[in-house]
């Protein structure tokens, strides 16, 4: 296996992956009707109400953040990609919603005891090494008020282990192609993908490595980060099953 792929990321590597190419294929990968459906699940899982203050870590181009604002939440989004944040701000303006967007590192947050809820959606947790992934949870906890909730949505590693590796995922947008060659390393519990984008006669490659945790690991880490109780759900808030596609964790401070 290529060691470059399995190495936890620097911010510059993440920024190169979550680029204009990422945006180009976004509506094919996550069509608006899917995003609309996911909003309902997040709203319910985090027990949100009109006026709830919510932080999305790794908010990307705002597909979730701006929709939550439309439902009446007071939303803040943080991301490491200037390109995605610019798109998020433009979309917020088009929807006529007020969202606070910030360029930053989820391992070092500027807020303390501010939010009612925070979340990392669509496999946005696990980019770093063990110590820095723990830092993300500690920072998220510190940003929440007493009684605050943290939601993490990730691919279910048991389902990943069942699939034969490597796998290949192809997305087409007009004449452009995005090809992901994915290996799951069971020794490190990291899902390593090489992305090949073919656009306008050019070929670009990026790498992404994500650490996937089981529920017992989340329970230990989240309690260490200051959360009292932790619950598990499946895709979009349904019941968690061993080989279902996703694991959603909700922790209460």
Domain containing residue 241: 3-155+213-252
Residues 43 and 143 grouped into a single domain: yes
Q: What is the pLDDT of residues 184-193, one digit of tens each?
A: 999 999 999 9
Alpha-carbon separation of residue 72 from 6, 107, 232 (angstroms): 40, 28, 26
| 69 vs 217: CA distance, rounded Å | 32
Contacts of 181 (CB under 8 A, 6+ apart): 166, 167, 168, 193, 194, 196
Q: What is the pLDDT of residues 111-159, one digit of tens each?
A: 999 999 999 999 999 999 999 999 999 999 999 999 999 999 999 999 9
Spatial contact of 85 and 63, defined as CB atoms under 8 Å apart:
no
Q: What is the pLDDT of residues 26-70, one digit of tens each?
A: 999 999 999 999 999 999 999 999 999 999 999 999 999 999 999
Residues 108 and 86 grouped into a single domain: yes
Which run of H or E residues covers position 64? none
Residues 81 and 178 grouped into a single domain: no
| 51 vs 200: CA distance, rounded Å | 44
Residues 134 and 225 grouped into a single domain: yes
The total number of structural domains that make up the chain:
2
Residues 148 and 178 grouped into a single domain: no
Residues 27 and 88 grouped into a single domain: yes
Residues 21 and 56 grouped into a single domain: yes
- CATH number of 37's domain: 3.40.50.150
Residues 126 and 242 grouped into a single domain: yes
Residues 202 and 220 grouped into a single domain: no
């Amino acid at each position: 296996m290529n060691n470059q792929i399995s190495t936890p990321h620097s911010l510059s590597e993440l920024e190169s992956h979550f680029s204009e190419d990422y945006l180009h294929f976004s509506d094919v990968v996550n069509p608006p009707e899917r995003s609309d459906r996911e909003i309902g699940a997040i709203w319910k899982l985090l027990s949100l109400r009109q006026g709830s203050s919510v932080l999305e870590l790794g908010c990307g181009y705002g597909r979730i953040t701006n929709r939550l604002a439309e439902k009446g939440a007071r939303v803040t989004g943080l991301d490491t990609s200037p390109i995605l944040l610019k798109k998020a701000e433009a979309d917020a303006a088009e929807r006529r919603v007020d969202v606070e967007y910030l360029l930053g590192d989820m391992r070092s947050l500027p807020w303390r005891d501010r939010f009612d809820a925070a979340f990392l959606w669509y496999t946005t947790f696990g980019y770093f090494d063990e110590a820095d992934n723990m830092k993300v949870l500690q920072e998220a906890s510190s940003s929440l008020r007493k009684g605050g909730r943290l939601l993490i949505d990730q691919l279910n590693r048991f389902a990943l282990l069942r699939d034969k590796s490597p796998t290949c995922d192809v997305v087409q947008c007009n004449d452009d192609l995005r090809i992901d060659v994915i290996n799951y390393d069971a020794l490190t519990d990291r899902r390593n993908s090489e992305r090949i984008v073919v656009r306008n006669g050019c070929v670009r490659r990026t790498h992404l490595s994500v650490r996937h945790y089981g529920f017992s690991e989340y329970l230990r880490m989240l309690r260490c980060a200051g959360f009292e109780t932790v619950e598990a759900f499946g895709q979009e808030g349904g019941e968690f099953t061993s080989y279902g596609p996703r694991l959603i964790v909700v922790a209460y401070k």
